Amino acid sequence: MKPSSRKLEIITTASTLFKEKGYSAVTMRDIAKSMGIKAASLYNHIKNKEEILTFIIISLAEEFIEGLDNIQNSNASSVEKLKQIVALHVDITSRNTNGMASLNNDWMHLKDELDRYLFLRVDYENSFREIIKEGISKNEIKNINPDIMLFSVLSTLRSLYVWIPQKEDLNASQLASNLSEVLLNGINK
């Protein structure tokens, strides 16, 4: 999908508002007011409110799937793959913190594309889990319940959108390497 520039403007404006108040609490009038136009004018560029949310969420979800596929098909070690996943999340989130809020919190308001989103999410988690399991069997990663490790790491990565805007002094590669250290080796000395 290649939206026109005006449509993109609507989407980015909406993303900012969705992050602040959540999809349901943001009205078409809110979005229009932020752009200095009337709500009715929005419908010359988009079909309805849902289309805005769908675009934000699905395009991000696809970016994650594509990134993980590339990592999975590389020859790197399991630990190296995990570091690349951390970098992937830092990269995508840095470029679109507002959209990441909707991906995390507003997906349940999807209609037409809800099933596809859920499929992509399960697919992503399964691939991630496989990399962890592969690391366990290759003796690179501790033999703890893989679900607990997946949950712990993924929870942190999914929360990056809250934290990155508050820490603009750290650049992406510094953040990714520090975060990899903490997630892989813990905080205990």
User: Interacting stretch for a second copy, rule CB under 8 A, among 37-45, 66-74, 113-121, 134-142?
Assistant: 134-142
Distance from C-alpha of 84 to C-alpha of 156, rounded to nearest angstrom: 15
21 belongs to the binding site for a second copy (CB under 8 A): yes
Tokens (6 digits) for 37: 């136009």
For residue 39, the minimal CB distance to a second copy (Å) is 18
Residue 26 · residue 18 · CB < 8 Å = yes
Tokens (6 digits) for 186: 């813990």
**Closest to a second copy by CB, 7 or 93:** 93
3 belongs to the binding site for DNA (CB under 7 A): no
Is 50 strand, coil or helix?
helix
142 belongs to the binding site for a second copy (CB under 8 A): yes
125-147 burial, b if ≥16 CB within 10 A, otherwise e? eebbbebbeebeeeeebeeeebe
For residue 82, the minimal CB distance to a second copy (Å) is 8
Footprint on residues 29-58 left by DNA (CB under 7 A): 29, 32, 36-41, 43-45, 47-50
User: Interacting stretch for a second copy, rule CB under 8 A, among 16-24, 30-38, 56-64, 66-74?
Assistant: 16-24
122 contact choice in a second copy, DNA, none (CB below 5 to 8 Å, kind-dependent): none
**Long-range contacts: 167-176, Cβ < 8 Å, 24+?**
172/87, 172/90, 172/91, 172/94, 173/87, 175/90, 176/83, 176/86, 176/87, 176/90, 176/91
Tokens (6 digits) for 138: 């290759």
Token pair 């403007």 is found at 9
Q: Which residues bind a second copy (CB under 8 A)?
A: 20-25, 79, 82, 105-106, 108-109, 132, 135, 139-142, 144-145, 147-149, 151-153, 155-156, 158-159, 162-163, 167, 175, 178-179, 181-189
Footprint of DNA (CB under 7 A): 4, 6, 26-29, 32, 36-41, 43-45, 47-50
